[in-house]
Structure 1
Amino acid sequence: MAHDHKHNHDAAGHSHGGGNQKAVGIAAILTGSFMIAEVVGGLISGSLALIADAGHMLTDFVALSLAWFAFHLAKRPASWQATYGFDRFSVLAALVNGLSLFLIAAWICFEAIKRLNEPVEVLGGTMLLVAIGGLIVNILAFWILTRGEKDNLNIKAALLHVAGDLLGSVGAIIASIVIIYTGWTPIDPILSVFVAIIILRSAWHVVKESGHILLEGAPRGFDRRQLIEALETEIAEVIKVNHVHAWSITQERPMATLEIDVPEGADITQVKIAVKTLLKERFAIEHSTVEINMYGHHSDKQGSDRPQNRPL
């Protein structure tokens, strides 16, 4: 049996993410700094929307800091214990960040129900000023994060956190304007719940996608049946494809392993090149391990008349 193990795990993380790390770091500093102002403004004005948004910003600061650390850790070279390096820590960080959004949304809804049952006075003017400041900070943080790789799951989770803050600031601005002109304070908790529902919907996608990667699910767009059919029909030397497995270290690092049956006398090197080229061009998998099983002869592409396997 011939093995192809042209791996290069000794290099530092395959996706260095220097720009991602810088973007997340700046967003974390902005979020953490304004969070303090929002807590003070929420307590002074009595606004649940501001207090809820400040609580959200606190968890965002922690989440963004975790994302920053994940990118930092991913730069470490692979070791004999961590042969794939530390890239997957960013997926774990994304999962934790996504789950934290569920807790934030639940807390906002709980506080909103309390406020609807026990209304409190809200200072619309103070609330409006703080909310506008929060909106500016969140727009800036969101713009900075969009400079990173938007397909990166960790950046996606960070963007969702900041987007949730941004929506919270918009909700607080709308609520404060309504309170200033009508005095109707229930608008404050009602809009808070609306923002929480939007956060939940986005959080579910991050949790689902990161969980899929951590459970070794197939990369996005990969179908084992399509791969087998393509290899067995498009590459003449391939008799049969066996033991196909595909997974992702991160969204950007899909991998695959498979075994190929070929007839005796086939050019193993050319078969490997053809298989790897198809994987790369058709399924965007650049890192694959291909094992070759060579047989004495075969009567057809299905291998129905194959003699006993003779591994190389």
Structure 2
Amino acid sequence: MAENADRRWLTLALALISGFMAVEVVVGIIARSVALLSDAAHMLTDAASIVLALIAIRLSARPARGGYTYGLKRSEILSAQANGLSLLLLGAYLGYESVGRLIDPPEVTGGLVLITALAGVAVNLAAAWCMSKANRSSLNVEGAFQHVLNDLYAFIATAVAGLVVVTTGFARADAIAGLLVVLLMIKAGVELLRASGRVLLEAAPTGVEPDEVGGRLVAHGQVAEVHDLHVWQITSGEVSLSAHVLVAAGGDCHAVREDLEAVLSGEYGITHTTLQVDHLDDPAARGRADGEHCPTAHGPVHRAASYGH
């Protein structure tokens, strides 16, 4: 199964990251390098993100039951939220430490920093390769992958700092590299929070514009109006849509529904749909004698030009 393959690749990446992280903490303390320690902290978030990804994959695979009608598929979104928040918190702490060392730099053993950073580049390359084999369409897996990729960039910056310290004795290069790592952590954290927040707030998926979809649906020759249109993600890659569709008098509701489902699937890739289709002249469909479909509209109302008013 694809899920089992994802677990194997993620577990291998976790072993690589965790083993090197322990070594880096020891070397960072000996070398008194804030860049190495910030890289190690970043690797800790990498390891945590992979662990959360593995847990989320297992939870998401559980069938829906009881009050959890969608199952636990959104556990991966909660995992992405936790990863994003941890990146921001660690970034803030390490930024504070880096600024302090930029003002008053301690003596840094540049040789140890350089050697360890180069080893870190190799380890992160291997871990990133492993994770690229997993299903990156999942926000959960992609978030963990971006952690590792950003850490790779951070190790490159740290290696450059170590080389500068060795060749020039400029100790502040270590703190500057630490600040670069912090910027990468903040960028990754903000992107994770933004993407996962859209899912939790039931926003339409990126690339799907509800007004455009509504306009496309009312373009059907027999559709007079579309309202209560909602498009949201259950989890990464699982888009759902619901809408109330009013069909012109004499129109075939079942045929219209099938046509609209084909449009949504073929043009937008949305296959999980719930369409309530009624006739325009059905008072129960309109809900009120004054012509409005409900007392409080849930979003814009899309009307065909020939039925607009």
Q: Which is bigger in relative contact order (C-alpha 8 A, separation at least 6)?
A: 1
Match of 1:253 in 2: 238
| Structure 2 CA distance for aligned equivalents of residues 181 and 222 of structure 1 | 53
Contact 1:240 1:301 survives alignment (8 Å): no
Letter matched to residue 202 of structure 1 = A
Amino acid across the alignment from 1:169: F
CA distance in structure 2 between the partners assigned to 1:213 and 1:70 by the alignment: 15
SS in 2 for 1:219: coil
1:222 is paired with a residue whose SS is: coil
Per the TM alignment, residue 40 of structure 1 is displaced from its structure 2 partner at its CA by 0.9
TM-score normalised over the length of structure 2: 0.87
Instruction: Look up the match of 2:210.
Output: 224
Q: Which shows bigger deviation, 147-156 or 67-76?
A: 147-156
Aligned to 1:8: none
Residue number in structure 2 paired with 1:107: 93
1:276-300 alpha-carbon deviations (Å, 9 max, x no partner): 1111122221100011112458xx8
Equivalent residue for 1:127? Answer: 113
- Pairwise mapping of residues 178-189 of structure 1 onto structure 2 (< 5 A)? 178-189=164-175
Corresponding residue to 2:273 among 279, 284, 288: 288
Cα offset for 1:302?
A: 4.7
Q: Aligned to 1:239, what secondary structure does the other structure show?
A: strand
Q: Paired residue for 1:238?
A: 223
How far residue 58 of structure 1 moved from its aligned partner, in angstroms, is: 1.8
- Size of the alignment, in residue pairs? 288
> Identity over aligned residues, as a percent?
32
Within a 5 Å distance, the mapping from 1:1-312 to structure 2 comes to 17-233=3-219, 235-296=220-281, 302-303=306-307
Helix, strand or coil for the counterpart of 1:249? Answer: strand
Which range moved further: 102-111 or 30-39? 102-111
Cα shift at 1:301: 6.2
Q: Could you list the structure 1 runs, at least 4 aligned residues long, displaced by more than 6 angstroms after superposition.
A: none
Cα distance, 1:16–1:74 mapped onto 2, change above 3 Å: farther
Q: Distance in 1 between matches of 2:254 and 2:2?
A: 31
Deviation (angstroms), 1:138: 0.7
CA-atom RMSD in angstroms: 2.1
- State the AA in 2 paired with 1:162: V
Aligned-residue offset at 1:222: 1.9
Aligned to 1:310: none
Deviations 1:103-126 (A, max 9, x none): 122122111112123322211222
Q: CA deviation at 1:251?
A: 2.5
* Structure 2: tracts of 5 or more residues without a match: 283-303
TM-aligned CA deviation for residue 304 of structure 1 = 6.8
CA deviation string 1:201-250 (max 9, x = no partner): 232222111101100001222222222222222x2221211211111011
The alpha-carbon deviation at position 21 of structure 1 amounts to 3.1
Which consecutive residues of structure 1, in runs of 5 or more, have no partner in the other structure? 1-14, 306-312
| Separation of aligned partners in 2, 1:146 and 1:183 | 38
Distance 1:150 1:247 in 2: 20
TM-score in terms of structure 1 length: 0.86
Distance 2:207 2:102 in 1: 46
